[in-house]
Amino acid sequence: MRKTKIETTIEIIKLQISNKRLTAGARLPSVRQSAIQLDCSVSTIVEAYARLVAEGIIESRIGAGYFVLGKTTQVTLIDTEIKYHREVDPLWISRQSLEAKTEILKPGCGWLPTHWMPEHSIRKALKLVSKSDANILMDYAAPHGHLALRQLIIRKKEVYDLNLHPNQILITDSATQSIDLIFRLLLQAGDVILIDDPCYFNFQALIQAHHLQAVAIPFTETGPDIAQFEQALTFKPKIYLTNSGIHNPTGASLSLQTAYQISKLVERANVFIIEDEIFADFEYAPAPRYISFVGLNHVIQIGSYTKTLSASVRCGYIISHTENIEKLINLRIATNFSSSNLNAEITYQALMDSSYPKHLDSLKKKLLKVSNECIKKLELLDIQPWIIPKAGIFLWCKLPEMIDASELSKLCLKQGVILAPGNAFSQSKEAKHFVRFNVAQCIDQRIFEVLQDALQVLKDQHQSMNLVNLNN
């Protein structure tokens, strides 16, 4: 006898549960999504889900969707298709910051003000490059990208006890593109990936674009929570994506102990760590790196020069074993053909210029100064840094009791101040009382005035609501 579409749909979902494609606690695709995926009508899915609920295989949670029943663990799979509130939508913050006119204040933005960047090095590099060989100006790059830049990267990575070969490096256009290519190579839609909670919000946008499932590991002062990391391995993640050196948004650095424990776990579970070096050049002394422990067998390192050199000269890299790099080259040819040899040459010339290390030195000193000032000003508003970072541009701060970062961001935006509210960084949405500040973007006293006023408005609202509650 032929099965109805409803019965077949039920079979498919049961199969996905029995073979662990859907695990206990996982959210099922929405009725509409399922209908599209299985190419049947919405009513078929509605009926199939209803029968699965009746069978006690899944449950319906009002307003949240359908979830697989069964034993759930503490860390949970987060549905990456959640529609965010505009104020905590990762893409929304990126776009606000990218679109902001110069009169807008951007304490929430993820990069340095223009005049903090090494303008002189870039101008000098451009003049040099304008006289370079025609093939640098005109031709596609070699498949691996600019050789001299790769050799420079090798020398810079020796500090991590690495002895790399140029064929273990691929030049890309950005750190984001590096991660995107690695996701494309190693992951399929539905695969599980581990991220930090909180983490750089664009990681979540990338995860959404690839239709992955993310397990968020609470981030401590010394790295990811080791017990929760171990527990999350039951989801069979393929990749753990993290910032090394200086963590975004917390500013925390990995301890040797945590690096060692996590290294043992990824070796055992055969997980690849993507170690994002984007803030590495801000460090005074390098914090531990996973790559120093488990090498290229379990770590892919990526990075760019966006934060310390220029965001306009697009140039990043991937470090991995040659087998991965070969496959990544083919993917890159298919999807973007070539990296920019010109941008790589400008980057190389600017990095080689003697003014760059001097620029970094003065930049770090300046950051230390403005960071201390910023901390003082924030503390006057009862906004407390979660930790005092060793280096970098970020302060991850807890707001006064009861203040919601998203509400605060809405009020500040009206006054021309763009904040980065905590839940934009948090998959578990447990950072609603946190805000990330970029100390280099917090020079203008108006930011603190706007913050003070907005905090007062929210406190007054709470007070009047409490009074209303008391009177009832």
- Out of 34, 80, 202, 244, which residue is the one contacting a copy of itself (CB under 8 A)? 202
Please name the amino acid found at residue 407: E
Question: Is the separation of the CB atoms in 342 and 313 below 8 Å?
Answer: no
Tokens of 424: 């934009």
Work out how close the CB of 302 gets to a copy of itself at its nearest, in angstroms, rounded to a whole number.
13
- The answer to whether residue 234 forms part of the interface with a copy of itself (CB under 8 A) is no
Question: Is the separation of the CB atoms in 258 and 223 below 8 Å?
Answer: yes
How far lies 246's CA from each of 71, 242, 289, 414, in Å? Answer: 36, 10, 11, 31
Give the x-and-dash track for 16-55 against a copy of itself (CB under 8 A). ---xxx----------------xxx---------------
**Closest CB to a copy of itself among residues 348, 448:** 348
- The answer to whether residue 8 forms part of the interface with a copy of itself (CB under 8 A) is yes
Burial class (CB in 10 A: 0-12, 13-18, 19+), 197: buried
Work out how close the CB of 3 gets to a copy of itself at its nearest, in angstroms, rounded to a whole number.
6
HSE at residue 307, side-chain half, CA atoms within 13 A, is 24
**Closest CB to a copy of itself among residues 212, 259:** 212
* Residue whose structure tokens are 């990681």: 203
Using the contact rule CB under 8 A, the part of the chain among 268-276, 330-338, 395-403, 448-456 near a copy of itself is: 330-338
CB atoms within 10 A of CB 347: 26
Residues 149-188 that bind a copy of itself (CB under 8 A): 173-174, 176-177, 180, 184
Spatial separation of the C-alpha atoms in residues 19 and 16, rounded to whole Å: 5
- Out of 189, 285, 468, 470, which residue is the one contacting a copy of itself (CB under 8 A)? 189
**Closest CB to a copy of itself among residues 205, 387:** 205
**Closest CB to a copy of itself among residues 119, 382:** 119
Residues 381-440 that bind a copy of itself (CB under 8 A): none
What three-state secondary structure class fits 27?
Answer: strand
Using the contact rule CB under 8 A, the part of the chain among 245-253, 334-342, 442-450, 463-471 near a copy of itself is: 334-342
Give the x-and-dash track for 95-134 against a copy of itself (CB under 8 A). x--xx-----------x--xx-x-x--xx--xx-xxx--x
Which of 360, 204, 373 shows the shortest CA–CA distance to 279? 360
Question: Is the separation of the CB atoms in 278 and 243 below 8 Å?
Answer: yes
- The answer to whether residue 15 forms part of the interface with a copy of itself (CB under 8 A) is yes
Which of 339, 348, 296, 346 shows the shortest CA–CA distance to 170? 339
Spatial separation of the C-alpha atoms in residues 153 and 166, rounded to whole Å: 9
Residues 206-225 that bind a copy of itself (CB under 8 A): 206, 208-209
Work out how close the CB of 169 gets to a copy of itself at its nearest, in angstroms, rounded to a whole number.
16
**Closest CB to a copy of itself among residues 135, 384:** 135
